[in-house]
A and B are shown apart, each in its own frame.
Chain A
Amino acid sequence: MNRIQTLYKSIIGKKVIAAVTGLVLFGFLLGHVAGNLKVFTGSTEQGIPHIDEYGQFLKVAGEPLLPAGALLWGARLTLLTSVILHITVVVQLAMLSGKARPVGYVKSKKKAASLPALWMMFSGSLIAGFIVFHILHFTTGTIQIGEFEHGYVYNNLRSSFSNPFVAGGYIFVMLVIGIHLNHGVWSMFQTLGIDNPDRNKFLRTASTALTMAIVLGFIAVPASFLFGLMPEAANYAHELLTGH
């Protein structure tokens, strides 16, 4: 514990925390996008869209070993902790760096720094705001755009994303996430000391490829609904899904 405290106090340690929490969030995005693609796989014989079934599965995953919702809430708490830590250390480091360069240059020029790297704070803030909105929109249903009913994931998506502003907004934020990940994923390898000249090309290509896969996967959902490519879901009784 003592060692973790010492590590946390150091500049490199804070970077490492940003990298590890970033990895957790990146892993979550991979899972999230894979789950989202169930929108395209159709419905069961009873007319329940696979995505609705998947949503219900997430609520009870881990049963009967764990009580219902334990795995879901465990994951949610891990993600919340990661987001909070990620933001905290990054803000602390940014404040420190501001103090390290109190007087700027009259004329300054960037030779190597990429725009995604320079925009990390901006893209990160936008993503943080989006996460809050996204949870209020699709998880709690507090922000109602179109029709919303808990559990009817497919219909909720259809209702929200047929609005071009909502779909456009989501697509825009996904591109911002892509910009954030483009630097962030590679940066994680460098911070953890995993990158080296012999692996650099592979790690950078893999980071970009995974980022593009995630972004395209996420964009596919609102784009398909927006362009009317998705069929209407059949009406089904909610009891069919929950089994009671």
Chain B
Amino acid sequence: MRIKLHVWRQSSRSDKGRMEMYELDNVVEDMSFLEMMDTLNEKLTVEGKEPVAFDHDCREGVCGMCSMVINGEAHGPKSETTTCQLYMRHFDDGAEIFIEPWRASAFPVVRDLVVDRSAFDRIIQAGGYVSNHSGPKPDPNSIPIEPNVAETALDAATCIGCGACVAACPNGSAMLFTSAKASHLGLLPQGQPERFDRAKSMVSQMESEGFGSCRNYAECEAQCPKGISIAFIGRLNSDFLKASLVEPIDRRGDMKAQ
């Protein structure tokens, strides 16, 4: 297979960056997209050029490290597939492929295709936890959970935190990620004590990181490698509304009769 690549090259955070064109003629159909990138880097190294920096780790579609916008789609043209699980057979011979980093002000480009996604870590730190007792091990299945609730929570928990939702959203919104993380805990009984505080603090952290607002395009869902539903965004909206308007804040204090 011969392919023509247009890759975003940026040497540092302060560099302006530009697209560069490379041609590869020894691409095998059974190569994964990242193996193709490895081949490109070998070629560049042999030529004495700087290889393309890109994030990757497990290459099994579960770690959420790989992050490339391929031909305008986060993780490329195949739905519910991470970049590492994308194969060159999904492209035509002679294809022209554009590879760009996630674009969002909250995800600054570190180098080439590598972006800094620590904004997501800070959203998790703000509320993505549950309180647990530290005593003896509880009996398994001691808390009954309705099967469909458990399954929905698991659906939300399949989020690998890759950031494709932000990259795909025309507004650079992180609502799908935040809602998935808030929902997989908020749906389960163990996550109830912090449920409404969690909604408020995760949303507030999301805002201060500079992510945009959700306009219900559902572009995030379409490009999410785990196919996470925008139903979770609705759920977070609802929890946030209840947290803001209905749920008691702190009702300690004195009252007088009259």
| Neighbouring A residues of B239 by C-beta, 8 Å | 193
**Beta-carbon contacts under 8 Å, A92-112 to B:** 93, 96-112
Contact indicator B237/A191 (Cβ below 8 Å)? yes
Closest-CB distance, A106 to chain B (whole angstroms):
6
- Which chain A residue shows the least CB distance to B204? A10
Task: Name the contact of B221 in the complex, choosing from A4, A10, A112, A114 (C-beta under 8 A).
Answer: A112
Instruction: Give the residue name and chain of the B residue nearest to A200 (CB).
Output: B231
User: Is A12 among interface residues, defined by CB-CB distance under 8 A?
Assistant: yes
A102 and B105 within 8 A (CB): yes
A120 to chain B, nearest CB (A): 7
B227 to chain A, nearest CB (A): 12
Question: Are B240 and A100 in contact (CB-based, < 8 A)?
Answer: no
* Cβ proximity bits B1-42 to A, threshold 8 Å, 1 near / 0 not: 000001010000000000100000000000000000000000
The contact size tier of chain B is 35 or more
Determine chain B's interface SS by DSSP, over half rule. Answer: mixed
Interface residues on A, range: 35 or more
Q: How far is the CA of A106 from the CA of B210 in the complex (A)?
A: 22
Contacts of B218 in A (CB 8 A): 112-113
Q: How far, in whole Å, are A81 and B213 apart by their CA atoms in the complex?
A: 23
Q: Is the CB of A195 within 8 A of B231?
A: yes
User: Which chain B residues border A114 with CB–CB below 8 Å?
Assistant: 217
Asked if B237 and A111 make an inter-chain contact with CB atoms under 8 angstroms apart, the answer reads no
Tell me whether B106 and A100 are in contact (CB under 8 A).
yes
A100 to B237, CA, bound (A): 20
Residues of B within 8 A of A104 (CB): 103
B70 to chain A, nearest CB (A): 9
Give Cα A16–Cα B233 distance, bound, in whole angstroms: 13
Checking B72, B211, B230 against A105 with a beta-carbon cut-off of 8 angstroms, the contacting residue is: B72
**Which residues in A have their C-beta under 8 angstroms from that of B234?**
190-191, 193-196
Chain A interface residues (CB < 8 Å from chain B):
3-4, 6-7, 10-16, 93, 96-114, 117-118, 120, 183, 186-187, 190-197
B residues whose Cβ falls under 8 Å from a Cβ of A: 6, 8, 19, 69, 71-73, 79, 98, 100, 103-106, 168, 170-173, 203-204, 206-207, 210-219, 221-223, 229-231, 233-241, 244-245
A-B contact pairs, 20 of them (CB 8 A): A11-B207, A11-B214, A12-B240, A13-B240, A16-B237, A16-B241, A93-B212, A93-B213, A96-B213, A97-B170, A97-B171, A99-B210, A100-B104, A109-B71, A183-B216, A186-B216, A187-B215, A190-B230, A194-B238, A197-B229
